[in-house]
Amino acid sequence: MASLSGLQSGFFTDIDVVDVITINGNAGTANQVLTSDGTNTSYQDPTLPAVSSLLTAGTGIDITNTGNPETISTNVKSLVLDGTAVSGAPQTFNPNANGGSQTITINDTDTTYTAGNGIQISGSNIIQTKTDNTTIRDSGGGSGNNLQVIKVPNALTFTGYDTGTFDGSSALSINLVDTDTTYSAGDGIVIGGTTIEANIDEDTIDFNAGTMEVQKVPNSLTAGTNLSYSSGTTFDGSAARTINLDSSLTNIDSITMTSTPSAGGTSLTGNNYPAAGYQTPMTYFNLLSSTNLVSPYFLHDVYDPSSADSDALTTIHTEIFSGNLKNSFTAQSTSCCIELLIYNFSISGNKYFYLQLGDNKLVEWSVGATADGGGVATGSRSTNRTMNYTDETDKLPVSQTWYLSGLSVGTSYTINPMARTSGTLNYIYAGGSFPACILRGYYLT
């Protein structure tokens, strides 16, 4: 190995020695280290610190202060095992005996348990519970196998009809009867002893099988003018009554119909009794108001088609316009007038125009007729009358009135106007550009 000389002193960041550092030619021995005594540096063996300076012995542990290496030992001299879990005589374990090597085997062969109070365990060992014997204990008072609640830890105190306390240690019945039977009766209530009853007048209210029922109202309802009861003169609810409207109303100021009538409208209907003189007359009625709709006719029929209709007359009486003016009525009087308005159109002159009033069977009516279709009565005058004569081509409106008497009130009659001519080319017209044909009837008083 090459040697270096002539080293210079100084401060260096790094010194890299490849093989050996010698001090005065001494490279030291294995495991020696460089030491300094403050003046010189040399190789020396290292000094090891005592174990006691590095470790502190706890309870049951000893560390020697001398020797290299030092020794750590325990202070346990022996371990004695005894009890039912150790088979045979008591055994001692000494870790320092026999060179510090000893084995103890523990064999637990007793597997029998006995159940203690409140515990049930199979086996021979006994496990028990600990109770206060005040609120809970075993069911046998110290020898039972079940836990049992003796009472609750706090008591319930009650007062009233019964007084006392209850903690569950024994059964108890509480009587909740209220001994305070002092009550104040209000209106309609009466109290006798401990019985509360309704105080009724037994006139308007009474009992029926223990149930109150209304007998009648305290005041009576009396029928006034034009009203009457089916029985008695007053109504208080004690008996059923039917209220009737007097057949002859008097002292009435006005009767006003509804302003929103139904589809049929409103009406006043008089008597239709068939005997003469029993119909409903109107006395002292003012019909001058412009709002009155009054017709003097019991029959008013109009034939007015949109297009002109005509009948070519023959020399035989025939119903006019195919019976469109045939009407029926029930007589309300013994006599009436039937009026016909018709238009006659004669194309050639010297023709007679006749009108006749027939019945439902086209038999001529006659004055004094007694029934519908009865023909001409004995001694009566015919309704066949000459109405018009044309001496040339004429177009004339014709009016004819028939007087009928001897009618039976309540009997139904039919009237059917008929016409004929003395020669051809004589016509009647209605509708279109011609006047309407009108049939109407009115009673005579």
Residue 138 phi/psi, 5-degree rounding, is -80, 155
Token pair 């009853």 is found at: 197
Tell me the mean pLDDT in the region 12-19.
78
Q: Is 99 helix (H, G, I), strand (E, B) or coil?
A: helix
Question: Could you give the CA distance from residue 188 to residue 44 in angstroms, rounded to a whole number?
Answer: 130
| 297 pLDDT higher than 90 | yes
- Average pLDDT value for the chain: 78
* Burial bucket for residue 108 (CB in 10 Å: 0-12, 13-18, 19+): exposed
User: Strand 351-358 and strand 412-421: pairing?
Assistant: antiparallel
Q: How many CA atoms lie within 13 A of 366 on its CB side?
A: 15
Contacts of 437 (CB under 8 A, 6+ apart): 302, 303, 304, 320, 321, 325, 340, 341, 342, 343, 428, 430
Q: Is 6 helix (H, G, I), strand (E, B) or coil?
A: coil
| Cα-based distances in Å from 347 to 304, 307, 352, 426 | 22, 20, 12, 6
Per DSSP, 326 falls in state -
Band the pLDDT of 434: cuts 50, 70, 90: very high
Tell me the mean pLDDT in the region 173-177.
75
List, for residues 252-265, the tens digit of each pLDDT value. Answer: 888 888 878 777 77
Tell me the mean pLDDT in the region 386-413.
82
| 398 pLDDT higher than 70 | yes
Question: Could you give the CA distance from residue 319 to residue 362 in angstroms, rounded to a whole number?
Answer: 8
Question: Could you give the CA distance from residue 41 to residue 26 in angstroms, rounded to a whole number?
Answer: 11
Could you list the beta-strand ranges (E) of 268-335. 299-303, 309-312, 318-319, 327-330
Question: Could you give the CA distance from residue 63 to residue 198 in angstroms, rounded to a whole number?
Answer: 109
Tell me the mean pLDDT in the region 11-21.
79
Contacts of 285 (CB under 8 A, 6+ apart): none
- Percentage of the chain lying above the pLDDT 70 cut: 74
Question: Could you give the CA distance from residue 369 to residue 366 in angstroms, rounded to a whole number?
Answer: 6
| 128 pLDDT higher than 80 | no
Question: How open is the CA angle 96-98-103, to the nearest 5 degrees?
Answer: 85
Its pTM stands at 0.44
List, for residues 71-83, the tens digit of each pLDDT value. Answer: 776 655 556 666 5
Residues 165 and 156: beta-carbon distance below 8 Å = yes
- The sign of the CA dihedral 47, 48, 50, 56 is positive
Buried b (16+ CB within 10 A) or exposed e, 163-178: eeeeeeeeeeeeeeee
pLDDT for residue 87: 56
| Cα-based distances in Å from 416 to 89, 365, 406, 440 | 155, 9, 18, 12
List, for residues 31-72, the tens digit of each pLDDT value. Answer: 888 888 888 888 888 877 766 677 777 766 777 766 666 677
CA dihedral 147, 148, 151, 154 (to 10 degrees): 30
